[in-house]
Amino acid sequence: MLRWIIFVTVYLVMGFYALQAIRTATRQPWIHYVFIALTLLVIGNFIYQFSWADEGRVLSKPKSYAFGFLIAMLSFQLITIIFLFSEDIFRFLTGAYQRLFGTHTEFSLPARRRFLSLTALGIAALPFGALLWGMYKGKYNFQVLKYQLEFEDLPDAFDGYQITQISDIHSGSFDNRKMVEYGVRLIKEQQSDVILFTGDMVNNMASEMLPWKDLFATLDAPDGKFSVLGNHDYGDYVAWETAEAKAQNLEDLKKIQKEMGFELLLNENRYLEKNDQRIALVGVENWGAGGFIKVGDLKKATKGIDKNDFKILMSHDPSHWQHEVIHDDHHYHLTLSGHTHGMQFGVEIPGWFKWSPVKWRYKYWAGIYEELGQFINVNRGFGFIGYPGRVGIWPEISVITLKKKSLT
């Protein structure tokens, strides 16, 4: 309760401070009242959703949107306050100087400058508007990103072999079937040899996938569809009544994946064959640093595989690649991961620049990386969770073409 009181108090103080910029910029009272009403509505809805709504620990759609609107409002307030606080320091120093060395007999603060308040509001409106747009449109702004990777020891028959990778569907967050159908259609249009899904099909419960099962079942590829589990698929973020209920939820999700035509690899491997040549496809259960579930087992997953085989590894969390995979006795030519979502927020100019706050948590967080002669692709995710939108880091469908590297 004390944390709520402190949080609400700080939020309201920030809102009052931001209101001063609006009052300086315009003398229209209705604008002041609209800002006050929005400030109170956002915090009121957030408190209701996270205190009295009956979903428990599950991050439902109403909770996600309450969180999203709160983040948007906080970004507006914070940027405005940075400008106002800087000006207030200057105003205070000016007032003190005039009192001590000027003609003023009493201490007084100079009036706020309207130009600075307008500048603050204009800049603050940019992330505020972007976060709102990200909830409205950005979360379904699907991008098909294509990569070509060369390997000296790629079997000749797989020269030009094409993989479509999707990750982090998070079906429990979807709220627009037409746009999800558009994303699935983009996957189909790639006409890849194989489709690989790298975990987090749901947010919490297997039942979240039921409305979307028929749609994702329409995906098809000549060499099949394979999947692994992500941290959210285990149901660890739900307060289950019994351990049996949690275990059954995982079994239900496995069944749903099978009914959709995905072959789920649980620390297992399969061979993809072409013209009497083959490459190994390895799938591990989730292994994540920083408190995430660690049940991925490379030794078990590679049982029966020769060290000299060309290997593609599916592992949901890229921290697994960093901490275990690239140093393993086996050489994993290509690892496919997801998990980070690129934090669903950042700035990216393809081929030139990419930045997201998630870089401070994950060394490998989006796109292709190479270490010790091994590649990883960290897919930015098909869906979304938490903040119900995306800004700058768009939902991704990865298309990777394997090429035989010329030795000349």
What's 151's domain CATH number? 3.60.21.10
Q: Do both 364 and 385 map to the same domain?
A: yes
Q: Which of 86, 115, 136 is the last residue of a domain?
A: 136
Q: Do both 44 and 156 map to the same domain?
A: no
Q: Do both 258 and 373 map to the same domain?
A: yes
| Domain membership of residue 154 as a residue range | 143-404
| Tens of each residue's pLDDT in the chain, 408 residues | 788 889 999 999 999 989 988 988 888 999 999 999 999 999 999 999 988 765 555 678 889 999 999 999 999 999 999 888 776 676 666 666 566 666 665 655 556 677 888 888 999 999 999 999 999 999 999 999 999 999 999 999 999 999 999 999 999 999 999 999 999 999 999 999 999 999 999 999 999 999 999 999 999 999 999 999 999 999 999 989 999 999 999 999 999 999 999 999 999 999 999 999 999 999 999 999 988 999 999 999 999 999 899 999 999 999 999 999 999 999 999 999 999 999 999 999 887 899 999 999 999 999 999 999 999 999 999 999 999 999 999 999 999 999 998 876
The size of the chain, in residues, is 408
Q: Do both 152 and 185 map to the same domain?
A: yes
Q: State if pTM tops 0.95.
A: no
Type of residue found at 83 = F
The residues facing 371 across adjacent strands are 374
**Distance between CA atoms of 81 and 73, rounded to whole angstroms?**
12
**Distance between CA atoms of 353 and 335, rounded to whole angstroms?**
23
Residue where the block lists tokens 């700058």: 392
Q: Do both 147 and 37 map to the same domain?
A: no
Q: Do both 126 and 149 map to the same domain?
A: no
Q: Which of 111, 136, 161 is the last residue of a domain?
A: 136
Q: Do both 361 and 330 map to the same domain?
A: yes
Strands 396-404 and 143-151: parallel
Q: Do both 101 and 173 map to the same domain?
A: no
Q: Do residues 359 and 367 touch, judged by C-beta distance below 8 A?
A: no
Beta strands, E only, 152-267: 161-166, 194-197, 225-227, 262-264
Q: Do both 100 and 50 map to the same domain?
A: yes
Q: Do both 218 and 320 map to the same domain?
A: yes
Q: Which of 118, 136, 154 is the last residue of a domain?
A: 136
